[in-house]
Structure 1
Amino acid sequence: MMIDTREPIIVEFPMRGEWLSPNTPGSRIPSHGTNKFGSRYAYDFIQVDWERKGWPAYRVSLSQYLLFGVPLHEYYCWGQEVYAPCDGVIVQAEDGYEERARTNLLSDMSNAYKNARYFDPKKDDVQSVAGNYIIMKCGDNVYAALVHLQVGSIKVSVGQRIKKGELVGRVGHSGNSFAPHLHFQLMDSSDINTANGLPSAFEQYEVFRDGEWKKQFNCIPSNKDRIRFHS
């Protein structure tokens, strides 16, 4: 785990079942290589086949992924349920941003490069980066963002009060996304364009180590941890 001077804010893990976090503040900070868009301490979560070499996130072969791309339904995590990480109020809920029907390595990399280099918050729509997303206020100057959700899946609306663990949407591939995944972060503002990231940790989950599941409390997973959570 990286050492950081700020105490992480404790939240509930936002999915159920087994997950891997390929980008996590447990392995590097900033976790996504940038402090932009409040993402300094952000997590990405995917599901993988732990028995296959390289832990692929999709059911097809590597050659099909590289040559032809992969339809979204062939990804293990696409459509998985996403839950509120805290009690709070929904302050933004943006849906209707269409997902690309399949992943394509070259076009997705080009899209990511363009957004990283040329996105202008004054004139560009933040949905081109975030896709379908939810922002909820968890406390004073603490906002949770759940990003890249499946189109048409958002179950909440602005102003709605929700409890920790309530269903809010589904994992998707909208916006600046290489493959279906959940991007999760805490921020000090509800404006993704200007917010600073806040460190977070998960109040409880399990890690598979030495052939058994071991409970973790108030921890931050690394990018190698096989993690699971059931409420």
Structure 2
Amino acid sequence: MGTRTSTTDLGPGQRATVWLDVSLPTGSAVPKQLSHRVVVKVPKPAPPLVPPVVTEDVAPVTVSAHLPAVLEPPLRGPGWLDGNSCCDMTPHRMALNPIDGKLWGAERFAIDYEQLQPNGQLFAGDRAKNESYAYFGADVHAVADGPVVAVLDGLPEQVPGDNPTGLTLAQYGGNHVVQDIGNGNFAFYAHLQTGSIKVKPGDQLSSGQVLGHVGNTGNSTGPHLHFHVMSTPDPLRSDGLPFVFRSFKLTGRLANMAAGDALEAGQPAQLQPGFSARDENNVSPLNLDVMTYDR
């Protein structure tokens, strides 16, 4: 049985996934290959067959040359909080889907968007009502030109604060739209409001076009837009691909992951002190960023 608890100890018959973020100095060349050396300390060695330390050099891995898609933001207005994206160990990044005999990392760059209100809170009034979230029903915009390849609508809204049960794999994204944005990139707009989707498969979308509204459907515990870019049209049987937004204003950042949990409980946002707002161009938002999208 799997566990999400980080460990360096493996028992008999166990396997583990190692997550590595390789950072490079600004302007440096991206390597074409990465090699890995794994060193294992054996608790009960049996020399000479099983030495106390086993060192293995793993075959080099070719670094993908796939360039990040350059997109327009899927939302408009101030206070949009980036939850669960790169580069913390968030549920999105650690989600591996075992489908058809392969592990797929569809959500490795996915963003959950919620909107901070002027008082720094996510909702006002009854937490268990979708209407308490002012951004419930906000317009969702196409991030690029390209055709719609899949749509699901008609799933009911969930109750904020409750963990949904009984969902099939096809229902995890809730009401959603999949768009082919070219060069092997597919955009996924998920958890849309019931009955709000304005497009159908085959429709050619223009960048900025409204395709639906922010909702709380599928595997969702509160109103938000889940957005990611993937390698196939299947939201789960795909690998997540990096993307950047052409421009946005970075206005703040939550102090830490615990501040995100406090937000969900009704507390106002605890932001990093002394943060200087700045314009960003052709970069990807990071987990806990707070942004204004003007276009």
Cα deviations by residue, 1:82-118 (Å, 9 ceiling, x for unpaired): 0001110000011111113x31x3x31x63xx76xxx
Cα deviations by residue, 1:57-100 (Å, 9 ceiling, x for unpaired): 1113xxx54xxxx2101012210000001110000011111113
Give the Cα–Cα distance (whole angstroms) in 1 for the partners of residues 203 and 155 of structure 2.
21
Q: Alpha-carbon deviation of 1:51? A: 3.4
Give the Cα–Cα distance (whole angstroms) in 2 for the partners of residues 214 and 86 of structure 1.
24
- Structure 2 counterpart of 1:94: 152
Q: For 2:288, which of 211, 214, 224 is the aligned residue?
A: 224
Task: Find the residue that maps to 1:133 and give its secondary structure.
Answer: strand
Verify the 8 A CA contact 2:249 2:292 in the aligned structure 1. yes
- Structure 2 counterpart of 1:59: 124
Give the Cα–Cα distance (whole angstroms) in 1 for the partners of residues 89 and 207 of structure 2.
27
- Structure 1 counterpart of 2:85: 24
Q: Which has the higher contact order (CA 8 A, sep 6+)?
A: 1
- Structure 1 counterpart of 2:134: 76
Amino acid at match of 2:240: G
Q: For 2:71, which of 4, 7, 11 is the aligned residue?
A: 11
Task: Find the residue that maps to 2:188 and give its secondary structure.
Answer: strand
Amino acid at match of 2:115: Q
* TM-score of the two chains, using structure 1 as the length reference: 0.80
Q: Alpha-carbon deviation of 1:150? A: 0.1
Q: Alpha-carbon deviation of 1:32? A: 4.2
Residue pairs, 1:77-226, within 5 angstroms = 77-100=135-158, 102-103=159-160, 105=161, 107-108=162-163, 111=165, 124-127=168-171, 129-208=172-251, 213-226=277-290
Verify the 8 A CA contact 1:35 1:197 in the aligned structure 2. no
Q: Alpha-carbon deviation of 1:211? A: 7.2
User: For the structure 1 residues 27 and 35, does the alpha-carbon distance in structure 2 shift closer, same or farther, using more than 3 Å as the test?
Assistant: same
Structure 2 unaligned residues grouped into runs of 5+ = 1-20, 24-62, 98-104, 253-273
CA RMSD of aligned residues (A): 2.3
Give the Cα–Cα distance (whole angstroms) in 1 for the partners of residues 123 and 206 of structure 2.
32
Verify the 8 A CA contact 2:84 2:91 in the aligned structure 1. no
User: For the structure 1 residues 42 and 176, does the alpha-carbon distance in structure 2 shift closer, same or farther, using more than 3 Å as the test?
Assistant: same
Verify the 8 A CA contact 1:26 1:220 in the aligned structure 2. no
* TM-score of the two chains, using structure 2 as the length reference: 0.63
Q: Alpha-carbon deviation of 1:8? A: 2.7
Cα deviations by residue, 1:112-143 (Å, 9 ceiling, x for unpaired): xx76xxxxxxxx3512x111000000113210
Amino acid at match of 2:156: E
Verify the 8 A CA contact 1:48 1:76 in the aligned structure 2. no
Q: Alpha-carbon deviation of 1:195? A: 0.9
- How many aligned positions are there? 205
Verify the 8 A CA contact 1:78 1:181 in the aligned structure 2. yes
Amino acid at match of 1:144: A
Cα deviations by residue, 1:170-221 (Å, 9 ceiling, x for unpaired): 0000000010000001011001231111111111100115576421001122
- Structure 1 counterpart of 2:41: none
Cα deviations by residue, 1:146-168 (Å, 9 ceiling, x for unpaired): 00000010011110111111110
- Structure 1 counterpart of 2:107: 39
Task: Find the residue that maps to 1:153 and give its secondary structure.
Answer: coil
User: For the structure 1 residues 58 and 153, does the alpha-carbon distance in structure 2 shift closer, same or farther, using more than 3 Å as the test?
Assistant: same
Verify the 8 A CA contact 1:144 1:184 in the aligned structure 2. yes
